[in-house]
A = this chain, B = another copy of it.
């Protein structure tokens, strides 16, 4: 079950090239992406209405899509505008089209009720276009439900265990951090502060601090149903980071978007960015090169979790204090699904 009335990241913008076709399954539905001649990204149902061949096997003709089986042509709205060999076009000959927005180097899609697709609701991530930030990105295919990926991100105490060979550091420090979880109508925010703490080796390598200890933060922002932005960093201790004075410090901005492919597979899009200062980029670049390995460690964990959960379906789990973030996130998503279902039921039984 998925939330449909929401914007999901569908692809990195550069995955859809001029004249190119990208077929991708999202929320169990096949979608094909392409660009018009002036570069606008579009999304249609990836299934010809004639014999079901995915349209991503076809080709782009001007601003339209031609099926690769018998040549039916669809316009940008999914309407069939040509059937080779006949004049009349059957009225049912059409495929679904989906609202698409290209923003911050990402393609976003709305899989639900088109009338509700308000682009202003899309999570912004200006760091992707800010020359003061350096970043890398990727998409991982995860064999697990998307919420297991969200869970992972909402409880960063896992860092000391899962990532002990990469970004880990001291588990105790993470557990002892001053943590606050707050919930809004559309999201959850977990804030953790490690004031006046010894910086981890990776921080020391990436930044020249003026004090032996630092004020270090982790801000995890969950935007329902699937976006998690993680802002971490540190400044010299006692210089007012907690009150908002973070200039001259080290800052890292992670973006995670776990778009469901099916109930048990996920397109895990992620990017990592750090702020840039003259003369420091080489050291900081190391922070980024560790990211693919770090996220691969998460992939191993959530896939093992999914397998374990499937083996003993319905077996109970025990909650602990650090689950607060993920519990709130799951409740939000469950609430959205329930609301949508009520609307669908009401529509079905007027």
Contact = CB atoms under 8 A, between A and B. Distances in A.
Interface residues of A, number: 56
Contacts of A162: 68-69
Contact of A90 (B54, B58, B320): B320
A85 interface: yes
Contacts of A85: 157, 175-176, 320-322
Contact of A305 (B52, B171, B304): B52
Interface in A307-341: 308-309, 311-312, 315-322
A287 to B, nearest CB: 23
A320 B88 CA distance: 9
A136 interface: no
A93 interface: yes
A69 B318 contact: no
A269 to B, nearest CB: 22
A38 interface: no
Contacts of A305: 51-53, 69
Contacts of A66: 161
Copies of this protein chain in the complex: 3
Contact of A69 (B52, B68, B301): B301
B318 A175 contact: no
Interface in A158-177: 158, 160-162, 171-172, 175-176
A317 B93 CA distance: 9
Q: Which residue, of A52, A83, A158, has the highest number of chain B Cβ atoms within 10 A?
A: A52
Contacts of A83: 320-321
A318 B93 CA distance: 6
A50 B161 CA distance: 14
Given A52-B317, A69-B162, A84-B171, 5 more contacts: A71-B175, A84-B157, A84-B160, A85-B176, A86-B322
Closest 5 CB pairs of A and B: A85-B175, A84-B175, A52-B308, A86-B321, A49-B318
